[in-house]
Structure 1
């Protein structure tokens, strides 16, 4: 009797990492063909030759599925936190990585994901807080700033402002000048003012 995968007869059963890789590759093919607005769990499942229940066991919705595909394709900033020896350069590196990633996936996907943020697990977005905390702790250890114990809104301000640019201005790509302004004119002055009050 032929092996089955999900509802698809005659397809070799795949499990674990092999199945997940097939599904996440199918996500990109679907995005390229139909765009984010028309992407469905059913469409991805059909392209991956599996059942949609297999997807729902791993991801709660299409946004989580797309984020997983994005991580597989481009990696995560958590795995490549910059360490240039200077806080300013570190933060700019993170912001430039964000812009490069958004340019890779396209504005359609970026805006689609942002529109569905309320339905998402907050963990992927909280990761950036950890990245920024790491940069600030290193800077404090080097003596660049008095302390890394800053208000959470200050810590996450640069990536949040970049997301704001992506969502509201719809500039693609965001100009590097805007990133420099975020760091030099907003973030670093706030860091030094907040650290001075701590």
Structure 2
């Protein structure tokens, strides 16, 4: 494998994961600053202190490099297990709000040209970044609540199960900022739990 040298300071030999991490770090910086139109092999190679052939050998298509970069920066969320569906949902939404709001806004803006060029959507991209065998976070919360006996084991649509995340994401994109905590509580207590047949206190409502 070809070794790499930095263009500034003392030359540093980089191989394997160290080299690929340096490239995807540079690619992320380019994406944040220049958007998808500026996300070019030339710009990324220059930022990483390497050459375009090095990038092409690892990622023959620009989309390959984009997905590798986003996969590195789209960290999986820790799924809470507090023993209460309500607290699980609030904790998870607060993590989404704190850790993902800025990234979601950034990707919506900086990848607008990518979505137009490929005819795909943010939902399609999210599916590619999520491991194929991973159950969506809110489906995991509902499954645990069923196992605890907190919810009845009944069919529930994907839209209902994922509604809290969808509503928070909607508010993030509409306001271009984080969601106030009282709105997160409102989404869980007055919208989602009643749809599942629960009150905010965890008692069943008979639905």
Q: Structure 2 length normalisation: TM-score?
A: 0.70
Show the 5 A alignment for 1:22-171.
22-31=22-31, 34-36=33-35, 39-42=38-41, 43-48=43-48, 49-51=50-52, 52-54=55-57, 56-57=59-60, 60=63, 64-71=67-74, 75-77=75-77, 80-103=78-101, 105=103, 107-113=105-111, 116=115, 118=121, 120=125, 122-124=127-129, 130-147=136-153, 149-170=155-176
Alpha-carbon distance, 1:58 to partner: 8.0
Residues 1:155 and 1:113: Cα distance change in structure 2 (over 3 Å)? farther
Q: Secondary structure at the match of 2:136?
A: helix
Contiguous gaps of at least 5 residues in structure 1: none
Question: Aligned-residue CA RMSD in angstroms?
Answer: 3.6
Report the number of matched residues.
184
8 A Cα contact 2:138 2:161, kept in partner: yes
**Which shifted more, 136-145 or 184-193?**
184-193
Residues 1:105 and 1:120: Cα distance change in structure 2 (over 3 Å)? closer
Q: Structure 1 length normalisation: TM-score?
A: 0.72
Aligned twin of 1:180: 185
CA distance in 2, matches of 1:185, 1:50: 55
Give the number of the structure whose alpha-carbon radius of gyration is greater. Answer: 2
CA distance in 2, matches of 1:63, 1:132: 27
Give the structure with the larger helix fraction: 1
Contiguous gaps of at least 5 residues in structure 2: 199-204
